C-alpha cells in the first residue's frame, strides 16, 4: 500500500541528506511530509524495500515513485516550489560544480576525514589537494557573490554541506586558509533558517512509530 504523504528517510549528519532536507525545506506550500530519521547500521525494512541500494536520503512519494538520489530529491522539491529561484542560473555551470563536488571533492574529503578507511591509499595530501577547488569557490564568491552567479542557487545549497564537513575536520586550519569569501559564505549558510531548520533533531524512527 502506498503512503498517504511523502516520506523522507534521512540521517542527520549525512551531507547528502542535508541538501535534500534543505530542498524539502523550500516546499512550504501545503505539502506535508513525514521525516523518518534512521541509523545507517540499522536501516528500516520499508526503506530498503523501496530503495535496495541502502543510501540516504530516500524520498518515497504517495504515487509510488521513489527518489533515492539527493540531487533528484532537491530537483523534485524545486519542481513543487522554487520560491527562491535556485534553478535560475547557468544550468551547465551549476551542475558541473555539483558534479565536481560529488566526485573529486568528496573523494578528497573522505580521505582527509577518514584516512583509516583507506589503508591501501596514501591520504597524506588529501587535504592540500583540495586547494584548487577551494580557491575556485572562493574566487567565484568574491566575483559574483555566490557559487554560480549573484544569487544562491542549487549549487550553493548542494555543495555547502560538504564544505561544512570539510571545515569542521579542523576548524583552526580551515579558517587560517586564505579563503575569506568562502569563510563568509559558509557562515551565512550555517546561520540560515533553512539550514538550522534542516538540522533539527528527530528521534530515530521505528517501524512501529505512528506517522
Ligand X SMILES: N[C@@H](CCC(=O)N[C@@H](CS)C(=O)NCC(=O)O)C(=O)O
Shortest gap between Cβ of 69 and ligand X (angstroms)? 5
Contacts with ligand X: how many residues (CB under 6 A)? 11
Nearest Cα to Cα of residue 72 among 133, 11, 8, 14:
8
69 binds ligand X (CB under 6 A): yes
Cα–Cα distance between 200 and 206 in angstroms, integer? 18
Which of 63-71, 116-124, 139-147, 197-205 is the region at the interface with ligand X (rule: CB under 6 A)? 63-71
Residue 56: CB minimum distance to ligand X, A: 4
Rounded to whole angstroms, how far apart are CA atoms 38 and 41? 9
CB of 38 to ligand X, least distance (A): 9
The CA distance from 135 to 100, in Å, is 14
Under the binding rule (CB under 6 A), the answer on residue 133 touching ligand X is: no
Candidate residues 16, 166, 185, 205; the one interacting with ligand X per rule CB under 6 A: 16
Rounded to the nearest whole angstrom, what is the least distance from the CB of residue 1 to ligand X in the complex? Answer: 25
- Candidates 66-74, 126-134, 144-152, 165-173 — which segment interacts with ligand X by CB under 6 A? 66-74
Residue 180 as a binder of ligand X (CB under 6 A): the answer is no
Query: Which residues contact ligand X by CB under 6 A?
Result: 11, 14, 16, 40, 54-57, 69-71
Amino acid at each position: 500500500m502506498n503512503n498517504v504523504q511523502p516520506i523522507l528517510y534521512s540521517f542527520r549528519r549525512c551531507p547528502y541528506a542535508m541538501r535534500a532536507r534543505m530542498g524539502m525545506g523550500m516546499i512550504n506550500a501545503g505539502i506535508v511530509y513525514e521525516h523518518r530519521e534512521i541509523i545507517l547500521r540499522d536501516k528500516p525494512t520499508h526503506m530498503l524495500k523501496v530503495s535496495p541500494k541502502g543510501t540516504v536520503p530516500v524520498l518515497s512519494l504517495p504515487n509510488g515513485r521513489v527518489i533515492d538520489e539527493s540531487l533528484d530529491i532537491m530537483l523534485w522539491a524545486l519542481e513543487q516550489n522554487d520560491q527562491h529561484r535556485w534553478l535560475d542560473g547557468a544550468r551547465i555551470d551549476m551542475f558541473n560544480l555539483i558534479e565536481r563536488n560529488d566526485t573529486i571533492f568528496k573523494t578528497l574529503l573522505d580521505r582527509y576525514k577518514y584516512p583509516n578507511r583507506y589503508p591501501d591509499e596514501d591520504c597524506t595530501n588529501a587535504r592540500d589537494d583540495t586547494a584548487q577547488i577551494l580557491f575556485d569557490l572562493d574566487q567565484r564568491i568574491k566575483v559574483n557573490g555566490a557559487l554560480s552567479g549573484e544569487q544562491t542557487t542549487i549549487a550553493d545549497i548542494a555543495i555547502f554541506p560538504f564544505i561544512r564537513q570539510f571545515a569542521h575536520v579542523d576548524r583552526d586550519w580551515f579558517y587560517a586558509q586564505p579563503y575569506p569569501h568562502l569563510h563568509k559564505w559558509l557562515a551565512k549558510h550555517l546561520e540560515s533558517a533553512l539550514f538550522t531548520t534542516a538540522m533539527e533533531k528527530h528521534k530515530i524512527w521505528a517501524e512501529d512509530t505512528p506517522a
